[in-house]
Structure 1
């Protein structure tokens, strides 16, 4: 793995496949509700499956809320993507800039926002999209609803919440401290307020132009409702929806035989003509 600093404090991790090369790069964007997380959150076992199958793998970090708003977050993702396009040959030593987007949860949302921007610019879209329990519209009524699941947790005081918000922009946030910030935002209906100043901050995605997409989602997801992915399945031109019968959100957080099977099946789908 090689790490590159592309902006002050913004990093990219790059893993190059050494066999069965496909000359395509998986660009991965992590989750964390846009409030926490880092570019190393995907277990190495999953990355290894992509590398073994011949795909190069690139992970990025991005600005986090509430220290930064969605417009700034989107720009940081776009900056990382532009760095890849401009440096795939000179710095990454790749023969091709063909790519596939992969996002988990809020990372999938940022993938869709990136695609929306690329569509506006008439730029090349990814060959395929890998969407694990993600969403398209941050303003969806299903995401604005106060979370019954998170209501079971003690409600932190405003002082505790404010103590978690930094005085400067940040590109990574420790889950052990920042997760409480996310919980509070879903309890109090603050999540969208942390991210959006106006409806124009979010770019509307042309669903008909989304490339072939592999969607994985738990049927009893307590965070991002399964119905959101079911809706994508019917509205995207070409998609596969894999339902996991569990009451979980990030079912692949721990590496298990079941999760490895899901990833292997997804990679098999990538290699279909």
Structure 2
């Protein structure tokens, strides 16, 4: 069956319309929606980056699927990114029946990389309903992680672009779609130089506001964690800490693969990750 998603504007951030894309399950519905947040270091990426084969697997299992835009850094500071995503969740809670035509606003949050980080932050927010479950693919829970504040040895192997070229890649108005072809250079530079938090516009004194404590992690709902032991972006120890701290958690690991190991759906380990995820969800 051909997928037929529908797009809905959920808010306007300055001049930027933020959209949601909704896929209605064509199977026996479980009356639950998976809300997906994309990755890209908060600097690049777009809401439709998840391969269709994965979306189809959720729909076939009876889950509706919703993807959300968010404004990207550095055109938008992290605080604004977070607030806009929060508005997207509120939009879903309010519009699930009248706009989306479904009978329940029960949801689980699914994020990859930076999207998983946002999902973890949102889950501890007292102004939002707690998700039924949480799915973190190679995510992180704290900006106080030392390796995020210093040059990354993996990325330092590549030539460092001149800062004046990097500055030309930064727009004058907010954006929510950042193609890898142009925006990845921002992330590369940020990790090479240790300036990633500068791009997010988070002062050191505010890092705790955008991080989860051990007690925050202990209060999280059931969580599926997936990560490669050779992740070059997010230290594997972060995934281990999530597993150790979240009372009801499942940790799927792979060996000798890159950070976003599920980028190519044909990779056997990627197929197995989603097979186990769907089994865990049910």
Relative to the length of structure 1, the TM-score reads 0.95
Q: CA deviation at 1:61?
A: 1.0
Contact residue 69 and residue 197 of structure 1 kept, 8 A: no
Alpha-carbon distance in structure 2 between the residues aligned to 1:71 and 1:223: 22
1:259 aligns with 2:263: no
Contact residue 102 and residue 129 of structure 1 kept, 8 A: yes
1:87-118: CA deviations, max 9, x gaps?
A: 0010000100000000000000000111122x
1:108-164: CA deviations, max 9, x gaps?
A: 0000111122x3x3x420011011000000221132231111011111101110010
Segment of structure 1 superposing worse, 142-151 or 14-23 = 142-151
What is the SS of the residue equivalent to 1:74? helix
1:37 aligns with 2:48: no
Residue 98 of structure 2: aligned partner: 90
Alpha-carbon distance in structure 1 between the residues aligned to 2:167 and 2:147: 26
Residue among 146, 154, 165 paired with 2:151: 146
1:239–1:249 CA distance, 2 compared to 1 (3 A):
same
Contact residue 113 and residue 139 of structure 2 kept, 8 A: yes
1:189 aligns with 2:194: yes
Q: CA deviation at 1:198?
A: 4.6
Alpha-carbon distance in structure 1 between the residues aligned to 2:205 and 2:278: 36
Contact residue 116 and residue 204 of structure 1 kept, 8 A: no
1:199 aligns with 2:216: no
Relative to the length of structure 2, the TM-score reads 0.92
Alpha-carbon distance in structure 1 between the residues aligned to 2:273 and 2:204: 38
Q: CA deviation at 1:21?
A: 0.9
Query: Gaps (5+ residues) in structure 2?
Result: none
1:114 aligns with 2:119: no
Matches within 5 A, 1:99-178: 99-117=107-125, 119=126, 121=127, 123-178=128-183
What is the SS of the residue equivalent to 1:11? strand
What is the SS of the residue equivalent to 1:148? coil
1:34-85: CA deviations, max 9, x gaps?
A: 0000001000000000000000000001011111111101011101111101
Q: How many residues align?
A: 268
1:223-263: CA deviations, max 9, x gaps?
A: 11111100111111111111101231000101114312210
1:27 aligns with 2:31: no
